[in-house]
Structure 1
Amino acid sequence: MKSEVPSKSLEWSNLVLGAGFICAAYMFGGLPVVAWNAGITGTLMVCCSAVALTRYGAWAEWSNLLLGCWAAVAPFLLGFGSAPVAMWTHVLLGLCVATIAAIQLFAGRQTDKPSGTRLKPGE
């Protein structure tokens, strides 16, 4: 496991997006399911990103990838897809977090490969 973050700016971006989810929880206070989902999801995103900033691990990126995917589909699974602002907030922020986490995972794999080494077919 590598302890260096592939891109700290991307990790900071996920932390800020997670904080945006926490702020959205207060904005959607009139919709309890939306507020709880945004608050819990955002808090978990912030925690994973903060830990990854101090000690990088692929588990933190996988967690953010799953949390971002959850946020994107939650409006439809939890039944608040009819509230357009809440739905689009979750979908857009969730897709951003998931995309950044996927980029981080890809970058982490690229830095783990030794330079100048070719893989044989089937490896």
Structure 2
Amino acid sequence: MSPAAIVALSIWEEWINLLVGCWLIASPWLLGFTHTRAMHFSIAAGAVVAFMALLELWLEYEKAHLGQAASQAAERH
């Protein structure tokens, strides 16, 4: 595996991470292990995974749109 393949971002991977994070948050109620230590761990881990996925998606979105705006502004001048 090349180092470029490890570094390259695929946006669909972040969407899957977001879905996994949401599943971890909802799973205590859907699977029936509420009011346990596992519930608290699942919610905390899900919140961290979902936050990191959302952060990465937002940063990629901003980079794509700010990059386009910067290149368009440079073309005007």
* Coarse TM-score class (shorter-chain normalised): 0.7 to 0.9
Structure-2 residue corresponding to 1:63: 16
Per-residue CA distance 1:56-108 (angstroms, 9 max, x = gap)? 1110100000000000110010001132x100000011011001100000000
RMSD of Structure 2 on Structure 1 (CA): 2.1
* Gap regions ≥5 residues in structure 2: none
Give TM-score, length-normalised by structure 2: 0.76
Structure 1 runs of 4+ aligned residues shifted over 4 Å read none
* Gap regions ≥5 residues in structure 1: 5-50, 119-123
Which structure is higher in helix share?
A: 2
Greater relative contact order: 1 or 2 (C-alpha under 8 angstroms, separation 6 or more)?
A: 2
Aligned length: 67
Look up the SS of the partner of 2:44 in the other structure.
helix
| Larger Rg belongs to | 2
Q: 2:57 aligns with which of 68, 84, 105?
A: 105
